[in-house]
């Protein structure tokens, strides 16, 4: 009996160790992760070290190009761009984590239920998924934001989650569909394990790597949608985000005034975070999928 119980566990740790082995040798994963972690550290610890108010006006310091005093220069109103950038990074990560997390969770729940239950429930959920899928998310967010005045990071993330889950649901549903007729799932069902437990204990762990990668993609996508919303003028009214910085720079014509230090850092920040996430994701794919490994 003991051998029977330990054998799968041992196999599992071997698989995990193998994944770790390849993870530490994958330049894409390590590089992408390093960039994200560095920016995350700046976002978390930056505001503690650089305690300046991102909105502090200073007319003596207005329109300065980058220097030792102001690393990224100052805006038309003498606000320090670096202080704003650091505070904006934090907001951007928050939106990514909350919005991406919510997108992934809603998509997974609907995908699991539709794929596992099948039949009528699947038909209805599938129809719902297809409808939300063709509705352009930004257009819906536009009207919701305009009317309800969604003006906090949390609300922004909530609505991003509510509108961008369908592709996750579709992908998870397809995967669940292929797993639900496997023997171990049948066995669990015969042992009268409740549905919720079968999904959580039997099905989800078998696609955990896939789910994790989905979350990373949602994280990046959520950051991009949020920055677009900020840019249109539907961002959070309190605080800074990288998208709001871009909006301000555009609104006060930093472009025609040649103040490149105002609009380069926020866009570069978003591109770095999202790009690093995508590259890390490709690395993860190679770690989990032996077929893709470069030999």
Partner 1 sequence: MRRYFGRKLLIYGLTFFVAVTINWMIPRFMPGDPVASMLARANVTQPAAYEAMRSYYTGLFGLDQPIWQQYLNFWGRLLRGDFGTSIYLFPTPVSTVIKGAVPYSIGLVMPSVLLSWVVGNWAGAIAARRKVLDNTALPIGYVLTAMPHMWLGVLMAWGFGVILGWLPIAGGYSFSMRPSLTWAFAWDLVVHWFLPFLSLFLIALGGWAIGMRNMIIYELESDYSNYLSALGAPQRLIRRYAFRNAVLPQITGLALQLGVIVAGALVTEIVFSYPGLGSLILNAIKNKDFFLIQGAFLFIVLGVLIANFIIDIVYVVVDPRTRAGMVAGT
Torsion angle (degrees, nearest 10) of CA 161, 163, 164, 170? 110
Please measure the distance between the N-terminal and C-terminal CA atoms of the chain and give it in whole angstroms.
40
Looking at the Cβ atoms of 159 and 198, the one nearer to partner 1 is 159
Asked if 275 interacts with partner 1 (CB under 8 A), we say yes
Q: Which of 97, 105, 133, 162 binds partner 1 (CB under 8 A)?
A: 133
Asked if 291 interacts with partner 1 (CB under 8 A), we say yes
Q: Which of 211, 279, 284, 287 binds partner 1 (CB under 8 A)?
A: 279
* Residue 105 host element (H or E): helix 81-117
Tokens 């990560």, residue located: 93
Asked if 38 interacts with partner 1 (CB under 8 A), we say no
Q: Taking CB under 8 A as the criterion, which residues in 164-203 touch partner 1?
A: 167
The Cα 195–Cα 200 span in angstroms is: 9
Least Cβ distance, residue 141 to partner 1 (angstroms): 9
Q: Which of 25, 67, 136, 205 binds partner 1 (CB under 8 A)?
A: 136
Least Cβ distance, residue 108 to partner 1 (angstroms): 18
Phi, psi of 80 (to 5 degrees): -75, 120
> Helices in 118-205 by DSSP H: which ranges?
119-134, 137-148, 153-163, 166-179, 183-190, 195-197
Closest by CA to 92, choosing from 254, 274, 278, is 274
Helical axes 119-134 vs 166-179, angle rounded to 10°: 150
Q: Which of 30, 109, 179, 224 binds partner 1 (CB under 8 A)?
A: 224
Asked if 250 interacts with partner 1 (CB under 8 A), we say yes
Interface residue list for partner 1 (CB under 8 A): 127, 130-131, 133-140, 142-144, 146-148, 167, 220, 224-225, 227-228, 231-234, 243, 246, 249-250, 255-256, 258, 260, 263-264, 266-268, 270-275, 277-279, 282, 291
């Amino acid at each position: 009996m003991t051998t029977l119980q330990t054998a799968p566990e041992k196999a599992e740790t071997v698989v995990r160790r193998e994944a770790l082995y390849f993870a530490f040798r994958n330049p894409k994963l390590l590089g992408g992760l390093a960039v994200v972690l560095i920016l995350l550290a700046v976002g978390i610890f930056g505001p503690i070290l650089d305690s300046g108010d991102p909105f502090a006006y200073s007319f003596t310091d207005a329109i300065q190009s980058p220097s030792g005093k102001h690393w990224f220069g100052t805006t038309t109103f003498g606000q320090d761009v670096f202080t704003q950038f650091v505070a904006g990074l934090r907001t951007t990560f928050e939106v990514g984590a909350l919005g991406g997390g919510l997108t992934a969770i809603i998509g997974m729940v609907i995908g699991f239920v539709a794929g596992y239950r099948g039949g009528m429930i699947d038909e209805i959920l599938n129809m719902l998924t297809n409808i939300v899928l063709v509705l352009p998310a930004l257009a819906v967010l536009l009207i919701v934001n305009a009317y309800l005045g969604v003006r906090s990071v949390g609300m922004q993330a909530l609505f991003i989650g509510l509108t961008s889950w369908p592709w996750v649901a579709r992908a998870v549903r397809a995967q669940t569909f292929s797993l639900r007729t496997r023997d171990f799932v049948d066995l669990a069902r015969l042992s009268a394990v409740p549905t919720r437990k079968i999904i959580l204990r039997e099905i989800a762990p078998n696609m955990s790597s896939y789910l994790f990668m989905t979350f990373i993609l949602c994280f990046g996508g959520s950051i991009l949608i949020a920055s677009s919303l900020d840019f249109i003028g539907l961002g959070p009214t309190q605080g800074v985000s990288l998208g709001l910085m871009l909006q301000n720079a555009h609104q006060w014509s930093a472009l025609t005034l040649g103040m490149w230090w105002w609009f380069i850092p926020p866009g570069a920040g978003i591109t770095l975070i999202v790009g690093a996430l995508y590259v890390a994701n490709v690395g993860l794919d190679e770690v989990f999928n032996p077929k893709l490994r470069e030999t």
